[in-house]
Amino acid sequence: MLRPAGLWRLCRRPWAARVPAENLGRREVTSGVSPRGSTSPRTLNIFDRDLKRKQKNWAARQPEPTKFDYLKEEVGSRIADRVYDIPRNFPLALDLGCGRGYIAQYLNKETIGKFFQADIAENALKNPLETEIPTVSVLADEEFLPFKENTFDLVVSSLSLHWVNDLPRALEQIHYILKPDGVFIGAMFGGDTLYELRCSLQLAETEREGGFSPHISPFTAVNDLGHLLGRAGFNTLTVDTDEIQVNYPGMFELMEDLQGMGESNCAWNRKALLHRDTMLAAAAVYREMYRNEDGSVPATYQIYYMIGWKYHESQARPAERGSATVSFGELGKINNLMPPGKKSQ
């Protein structure tokens, strides 16, 4: 069967939003999973977190979990690239929603001194990918972090936060556990993710059953991320978006891989079962509307990347209002204001 590995079509968009603004195998384990039912009073309870834990545990128990790791490994490598872009080392770092360690495998001990890897799925923590960085495994919920204030120099998160019910609270907790001048680098699925599958299911269900139910989980809009990061206390923000397109033999292979990734829908309002006729119709619609020339069908994964810093007085910051010495109206005369040897040609 044709697998998506090797069939990447990377469709980079311009940045949609940018706001200036020791040893292998040595692993310690601790636990910080929240008690069931512990939620913030303001939480919109969209996702069944217990179900998501079961889904991720099931995926991590499969005989060949690496068969479904292609997307998370790709995004993990891109997060690692962003870590390397920062010219410093990080003595203590946290990977939030680490899965099997998709980011750690791309980092080295010269950059990261010690890596805490936290996830709600204990089976993922028991079956990690190799890394040269000393690691500590933490069974913890992204919504209830068991760490003290000002603990980490770096927090990373890859393709995990889109399943959090209270994203503002999660970002506030990440900011809380970062040291001053610490940095958060994250990635999560965006609103256009799997739009082909969503449209095909909706059209087929409407035609066969007279209406449709949500089958793809809701995602955060990119325009909201900068606001949420700022409200959580981060500054010097960067938010950008990218797309990864993977080709599959058909819709059913795509759905099989989503299950293998632990990315099946866990929204409370999901429909438990689709009729066989509806599924066959959706697969036909998918192929008719989106088929590639080679007969495969594409699936688009939109990824939001975000970077935010915790304030420290050593950080560069904007000049005070009114401190400018040249007005915008004089920019046209800039050559006249410069020394003769520095004038533009």
Span 218-242, pLDDT tens digits:
677 777 888 899 999 999 899 999 9
**Under the phi-then-psi rule, with left for phi > 0, alpha for psi from -120 to 50, and beta for the rest, what region is 11?**
beta
Could you tell me which residue, 45 or 161, shows the higher pLDDT?
161
Report CA 174 to chain centroid distance, whole Å. 14
**pLDDT band, residue 28 (cuts 50/70/90):** very low
Could you tell me which residue, 173 or 26, shows the higher pLDDT?
173
**pLDDT band, residue 21 (cuts 50/70/90):** very low
Q: Residue 343 pLDDT more than 70?
A: no
Could you tell me which residue, 313 or 142, shows the higher pLDDT?
142
Alpha carbon distances (Å) from 292 to 2, 3, 213, 283, 296: 14, 15, 27, 14, 5
Q: Residue 270 pLDDT more than 90?
A: no
Average pLDDT over residues 149-167: 93
Average pLDDT over residues 69-91: 95
Residue burial 88-121, b: 16+ Cβ < 10 Å; e: rest: eebebbbbbbbbbbbbbbbbeeebbebbbbbbbb
- CATH topology for the 49-193+219-247+301-310 domain: Rossmann fold (3.40.50)
DSSP state of 141: B
The 3-state DSSP class for residue 227 equals: helix
Q: Report how far residue 166's alpha carbon sits from residue 164's, in angstroms, rounded to the nearest whole number.
A: 6
CB 181 within 8 A of CB 154: no
Which pLDDT score, from 0 to 100, does residue 333 have? 66
Q: Residue 119 pLDDT more than 90?
A: yes
Which pLDDT score, from 0 to 100, does residue 200 have? 92
Please provide the average confidence, as pLDDT, over all residues in the chain.
81
Which pLDDT score, from 0 to 100, does residue 36 have? 40
Q: Residue 211 pLDDT more than 60?
A: no
Average pLDDT over residues 328-344: 63
Amino acid at 151: T
The 3-state DSSP class for residue 136 equals: strand
Which pLDDT score, from 0 to 100, does residue 226 have? 86
Which pLDDT score, from 0 to 100, does residue 43 have? 52
Which pLDDT score, from 0 to 100, does residue 7 have? 37
CB 188 within 8 A of CB 304: yes
Q: Which of 53, 56, 36, 224 is nearest to 144 (CA)?
A: 36
pTM for the full predicted model: 0.77
State the DSSP H helix or E strand holding residue 158, giving kind and residue range, or none if neither. Answer: strand 152-158
Q: Report how far residue 56's alpha carbon sits from residue 262's, in angstroms, rounded to the nearest whole number.
A: 5
Average pLDDT over residues 10-38: 37
**What is the tens place of the pLDDT at every residue in 271-324?**
666 778 888 999 999 999 999 999 999 999 999 999 999 987 766 666 677 766
11 forms beta bridges with 243
**pLDDT band, residue 121 (cuts 50/70/90):** very high
Which pLDDT score, from 0 to 100, does residue 44 have? 67
- The structure tokens listed for 69 are 């790791």
Q: Taking the domains of the chain in order of start, what are their residue ranges? A: 49-193+219-247+301-310
Average pLDDT over residues 76-85: 96
**pLDDT band, residue 68 (cuts 50/70/90):** very high
**pLDDT band, residue 19 (cuts 50/70/90):** very low
